[in-house]
Copies of this chain bind each other. A is one copy, B any other.
Amino acid sequence: MNLTNFKDEIDPLIEAYIQNKINAIPDDIDFAFLKKQFDYIKVFIKDGKRIRPYVTYITYLSFGGKKNKEIINNLVFIEIFHYFCLIHDDIMDNSAKRHGIKTVNSKCGVSEAILLGDYLFSWAWEIILSTKLNAGSKKNVIKIFTEMIDDVFLGQTIDIQSTHKKTVSNNLIFKKTLHKTAGYTFTKPMLIGLVLANNYSKENIKFCESLGKNLGFAFQIQDDLLDITSDFNGNKISLKDVSEGNHTVFSNYVFEKGSAEQKNILRNNFGIENIDNIKVRKVFYDSGAINYGQELMKEYFNNAKAIASSYKYFTNLIDLISSRKS
């Protein structure tokens, strides 16, 4: 099952869960707006790639889990939790759009978005607690889930703090990626897959940590790279990281190794709304930041492929990710 097929399987489960929540709202004119807001959550969730639950699923398959669609029911909480993170993240970043559609804060209001995020976080727990697993597995899934929460919260905390700063260390960017991308997006979902496959051994945990770390770093650098290099909606350049003041390996490279003029251009456009897209993008190319980041990314992707070489689901996923254009 590839990522697209997987999305086709899990999306109806996600939608049905939210629809149940809508149906459970008291049928009362005063709660009509809550139904509308939950409806928007369905719209907001619709286009996601489902990478995290898919990573869990292929780990499950790779470590002896039976091809059994029932197991996908146990993965819905991962995506619901992820959307809780995105909703609150969009408020913190004051983002108006995500993947071309309105963020929840921009559609429903900031207070509403805080509360809607809280709802999803609560739902994630509710789902995890109602999964049909034996007591030991459930305990392990919950343990990994709390570690996953710690990872994303710690990464997010660093994120919030570093946007206040003019410069940050490479080490801080490393730590943010370690928690928020490697830990949260890859390693922890993989570990849940091991538990579901009844194969949560020390050796396998080590494999997941090593693969998750390399894949996480590659994925994050790629994400930051695409934010600089890709055009979307016709000719619009993104450069969201620069305008939001997010420090990346690319901005750090310019601030460290760029010429005085290049540093100045990036500095003057960092964390402001209307940046000079053409000029800033040129700085990233001319300073050598793009080249440096591309090499680093390739190295991590190659490491990941080497580690995962005997697991076809993973090598396929790495090929898919490494060739993505958005």
**Which residues does A use to contact B, with CB under 8 Å?**
28, 30-31, 33-34, 88, 91-92, 109, 111-112, 114-115, 117-119, 121-122, 125-126, 129, 142, 146, 149, 153-154, 156-158, 160-161, 169, 171-172, 175
Q: Does B115 lie within 8 Å of A114, measured CB to CB?
A: no
Instruction: Check if B118 sits within 8 Å of A91, measured CB to CB.
Output: no
- Chain B residues near A175 (CB-CB < 8 A): 28, 30
Which residues of B sit under 8 angstroms from A146, Cβ to Cβ? 122, 126
CB distance from A109 to the nearest CB of B (A): 8
Please tell me how many copies of the chain the complex holds.
Answer: 2
Whether the Cβ atoms of B160 and A111 lie closer than 8 Å is yes
In contact, A161 and B118 (Cβ under 8 angstroms): no
Q: When A and B form their complex, which 7 residue pairs have the shortest distance between CB atoms, in order from nearest?
A: A92-B111, A111-B160, A122-B149, A125-B125, A30-B172, A34-B157, A88-B114
Is B158 in contact with A122, judged by CB distance below 8 angstroms? no
Contacts of A118 in B (CB 8 A): 88, 117-118, 121, 153
Cβ–Cβ contact A91 & B115, under 8 A: no
With a cutoff of 8 Å between Cβ atoms, the chain B residues found around residue A157 in the complex are 31, 33-34, 112, 115
Across-interface contacts of A121 in B (CB, < 8 A): 118, 121-122
Flag if B119 contacts A92 (CB, 8 Å).
Answer: no
**Set of chain B residues within 8 Å of A112, measured between Cβ atoms:** 157, 160
Could you tell me if A30 and B171 are in contact, using CB atoms closer than 8 angstroms? yes
* CB <8 Å contact, B149 and A115: no
Residues from chain B with Cβ under 8 Å of A30 in the complex:
158, 169, 171-172, 175
- What's the nearest-Cβ distance from chain B to residue A28, in Å? 8
CB contacts (< 8 Å) of A172 on chain B: these are 30
Q: With A and B bound together, what is the CA distance between A185 and B158 in angstroms?
A: 35
B residues in contact with A115, CB < 8 Å: 88, 92, 153, 156-157, 160
Whole-angstrom distance between the Cβ of A317 and the nearest chain B Cβ: 29
Which of these, B92, B109, B161, contacts A114 with CB under 8 Å?
A: B92
Known: A122-B146, A142-B129. A161 touches B33 (CB 8 A): yes
